[in-house]
Protein backbone atom coordinates (compact mmCIF):
# COMPACT_ATOMS: atom_id res chain seq x y z
CA UNK A 1 0.00 0.00 0.00
CA UNK A 2 1.17 3.52 -0.84
CA UNK A 3 1.79 5.57 2.32
CA UNK A 4 3.43 8.73 3.50
CA UNK A 5 5.71 9.12 6.47
CA UNK A 6 6.63 12.51 7.90
CA UNK A 7 9.27 12.79 10.61
CA UNK A 8 11.34 15.48 12.30
CA UNK A 9 14.87 15.16 13.67
CA UNK A 10 17.71 17.32 14.89
CA UNK A 11 20.96 17.67 12.94
CA UNK A 12 23.90 16.58 15.08
CA UNK A 13 26.35 18.98 13.44
CA UNK A 14 26.00 22.11 11.33
CA UNK A 15 23.97 20.69 8.50
CA UNK A 16 25.40 22.67 5.55
CA UNK A 17 28.10 20.07 4.96
CA UNK A 18 25.71 17.13 5.34
CA UNK A 19 22.99 18.30 2.97
CA UNK A 20 24.78 17.59 -0.33
CA UNK A 21 25.66 14.11 0.93
CA UNK A 22 22.10 13.40 2.01
CA UNK A 23 20.67 14.69 -1.26
CA UNK A 24 23.11 12.58 -3.21
CA UNK A 25 21.89 9.49 -1.32
CA UNK A 26 18.33 10.44 -2.13
CA UNK A 27 19.10 10.95 -5.79
CA UNK A 28 20.99 7.67 -6.05
CA UNK A 29 18.64 5.50 -4.01
CA UNK A 30 15.10 6.86 -3.87
CA UNK A 31 14.17 6.46 -7.56
CA UNK A 32 15.00 2.74 -7.46
CA UNK A 33 12.88 2.38 -4.30
CA UNK A 34 9.97 4.30 -5.80
CA UNK A 35 10.30 6.85 -2.98
CA UNK A 36 9.46 10.52 -3.55
CA UNK A 37 9.28 13.45 -1.19
CA UNK A 38 10.60 16.59 0.31
CA UNK A 39 13.30 17.47 2.83
CA UNK A 40 13.16 20.73 4.77
CA UNK A 41 15.90 21.97 6.99
CA UNK A 42 15.52 24.95 9.29
CA UNK A 43 17.82 25.98 12.12
CA UNK A 44 19.28 22.51 12.50
CA UNK A 45 15.97 20.66 12.34
CA UNK A 46 15.09 18.31 9.51
CA UNK A 47 11.58 17.50 8.44
CA UNK A 48 11.23 14.90 5.72
CA UNK A 49 8.11 13.83 3.88
CA UNK A 50 8.58 10.40 2.33
CA UNK A 51 6.05 8.61 0.16
CA UNK A 52 6.27 5.08 -1.16
CA UNK A 53 5.20 1.49 -0.55
CA UNK A 54 4.85 0.53 3.13
CA UNK A 55 7.58 -2.09 3.26
CA UNK A 56 10.00 0.21 1.47
CA UNK A 57 9.26 3.09 3.84
CA UNK A 58 9.86 0.82 6.86
CA UNK A 59 13.25 -0.22 5.57
CA UNK A 60 14.32 3.25 4.45
CA UNK A 61 13.22 4.93 7.66
CA UNK A 62 15.07 2.30 9.71
CA UNK A 63 18.24 3.23 7.84
CA UNK A 64 17.59 6.99 8.05
CA UNK A 65 16.88 6.77 11.78
CA UNK A 66 20.28 5.16 12.43
CA UNK A 67 22.15 7.89 10.54
CA UNK A 68 24.51 9.71 12.92
CA UNK A 69 24.07 12.99 11.02
CA UNK A 70 20.89 13.52 13.01
CA UNK A 71 19.18 12.28 16.16
CA UNK A 72 15.77 12.11 17.77
CA UNK A 73 13.98 11.14 14.56
CA UNK A 74 10.30 11.16 15.54
CA UNK A 75 7.46 10.12 13.24
CA UNK A 76 4.86 12.89 13.10
CA UNK A 77 2.54 11.18 10.69
CA UNK A 78 2.21 7.94 8.81
CA UNK A 79 -0.85 7.02 6.81
CA UNK A 80 -2.03 5.41 3.57
CA UNK A 81 -2.42 7.83 0.66
CA UNK A 82 -4.41 7.42 -2.57
CA UNK A 83 -1.75 9.20 -4.61
CA UNK A 84 1.59 10.99 -4.26
CA UNK A 85 1.90 14.69 -3.45
CA UNK A 86 5.43 14.79 -4.93
CA UNK A 87 5.38 12.40 -7.89
CA UNK A 88 8.24 14.14 -9.70
CA UNK A 89 10.72 14.48 -6.86
CA UNK A 90 13.07 11.75 -5.69
CA UNK A 91 13.81 14.28 -2.97
CA UNK A 92 13.71 18.03 -3.07
CA UNK A 93 15.39 20.29 -0.56
CA UNK A 94 13.66 23.35 0.72
CA UNK A 95 15.66 26.29 1.93
CA UNK A 96 13.70 28.62 4.15
CA UNK A 97 13.05 32.21 3.29
CA UNK A 98 10.66 34.87 4.53
CA UNK A 99 7.82 33.51 2.41
CA UNK A 100 8.12 29.93 3.62
CA UNK A 101 8.47 31.13 7.21
CA UNK A 102 5.20 33.05 6.78
CA UNK A 103 3.55 29.86 5.51
CA UNK A 104 4.86 28.01 8.57
CA UNK A 105 3.44 30.67 10.83
CA UNK A 106 0.06 30.56 9.12
CA UNK A 107 -0.14 26.89 10.15
CA UNK A 108 1.13 27.43 13.69
CA UNK A 109 0.14 30.97 14.69
CA UNK A 110 2.32 32.36 17.44
CA UNK A 111 4.60 29.33 17.53
CA UNK A 112 8.38 29.59 17.48
CA UNK A 113 9.95 28.70 14.16
CA UNK A 114 10.86 25.26 15.46
CA UNK A 115 10.11 22.48 12.99
CA UNK A 116 10.78 19.87 15.65
CA UNK A 117 7.82 21.15 17.67
CA UNK A 118 5.43 21.06 14.69
CA UNK A 119 2.13 19.54 15.63
CA UNK A 120 1.67 16.12 14.04
CA UNK A 121 -1.67 17.14 12.55
CA UNK A 122 -0.16 20.07 10.65
CA UNK A 123 3.12 18.54 9.46
CA UNK A 124 1.86 17.02 6.19
CA UNK A 125 -0.47 19.91 5.21
CA UNK A 126 2.37 22.33 5.99
CA UNK A 127 4.72 20.53 3.64
CA UNK A 128 2.14 20.38 0.88
CA UNK A 129 1.47 24.13 1.27
CA UNK A 130 5.19 24.80 1.09
CA UNK A 131 5.50 22.93 -2.19
CA UNK A 132 2.71 25.01 -3.69
CA UNK A 133 3.83 28.38 -2.47
CA UNK A 134 7.47 28.62 -1.55
CA UNK A 135 10.43 29.33 -3.78
CA UNK A 136 12.32 26.19 -4.49
CA UNK A 137 16.00 25.53 -4.89
CA UNK A 138 17.62 22.27 -5.74
C1 LIG B 1 17.84 13.83 7.36
C2 LIG B 1 18.28 12.65 6.52
C3 LIG B 1 17.46 12.24 5.47
C4 LIG B 1 17.84 11.16 4.66
N5 LIG B 1 17.02 10.77 3.63
C6 LIG B 1 17.38 9.73 2.86
C7 LIG B 1 16.53 9.30 1.79
O8 LIG B 1 15.45 9.84 1.54
N9 LIG B 1 16.96 8.24 1.05
C10 LIG B 1 18.15 7.61 1.28
O11 LIG B 1 18.48 6.67 0.57
N12 LIG B 1 18.96 8.00 2.28
C13 LIG B 1 18.61 9.05 3.08
N14 LIG B 1 19.45 9.44 4.08
C15 LIG B 1 20.72 8.71 4.27
C16 LIG B 1 20.48 7.42 5.05
O17 LIG B 1 20.20 7.75 6.41
C18 LIG B 1 21.69 6.50 5.02
O19 LIG B 1 22.86 7.19 5.34
C20 LIG B 1 21.90 5.90 3.67
O21 LIG B 1 20.68 5.40 3.21
C22 LIG B 1 22.92 4.76 3.76
O23 LIG B 1 22.50 3.85 4.68
P24 LIG B 1 23.31 2.50 4.94
O25 LIG B 1 24.70 2.96 5.33
O26 LIG B 1 22.56 1.84 6.09
O27 LIG B 1 23.27 1.74 3.66
C28 LIG B 1 19.07 10.49 4.93
C29 LIG B 1 19.87 10.91 5.99
C30 LIG B 1 19.47 11.98 6.79
C31 LIG B 1 20.36 12.42 7.93
pLDDT for 80-111, tens place per residue?
A: 999 998 888 888 887 788 888 898 889 888 88
Classified as helix, coil or strand, 54 is helix
Asked whether the beta carbons of 90 and 31 are under 8 A apart, the reply is: yes
Closest atom of ligand 1 relative to the 37 alpha carbon: 8
Sign of the four-CA dihedral 37, 38, 39, 43? negative
Q: Does the pTM of the predicted model rise above 0.85?
A: yes
Q: Measured in angstroms, how far is the CA atom of residue 34 from the centroid of ligand 1?
A: 15
In angstroms, rounded to a whole number, what is the distance separating the alpha carbons of residues 27 and 58?
Answer: 19
Residue 19 domain flag: yes
Supply the CATH number for residue 85's domain: 3.30.70.100
Q: Give residue ranges with CB within 6 A of ligand 1.
A: 9, 22, 25-26, 29-30, 46, 48, 60, 63-64, 67, 69-70, 91
**Predicted pLDDT at 66:** 97
Confidence of residue 134 (pLDDT cuts 50, 70, 90): low
Least confident span in 41-50, 52-61, 110-119: 110-119
Q: Is residue 138 domain-resident?
A: no
Domain assignment present for residue 80? The answer is: yes
Q: Report the nearest atom of ligand 1 relative to the CA of 28.
A: 11
The answer to whether position 10 is within a domain reads yes
Q: Which domain holds residue 38?
A: 2-133
Count how many domains the chain has: 1
Amino acid sequence: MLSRLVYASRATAPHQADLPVILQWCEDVNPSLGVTGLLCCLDGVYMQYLEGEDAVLDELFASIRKDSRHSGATILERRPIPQRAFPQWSMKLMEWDERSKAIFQSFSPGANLDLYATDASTAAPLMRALIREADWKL
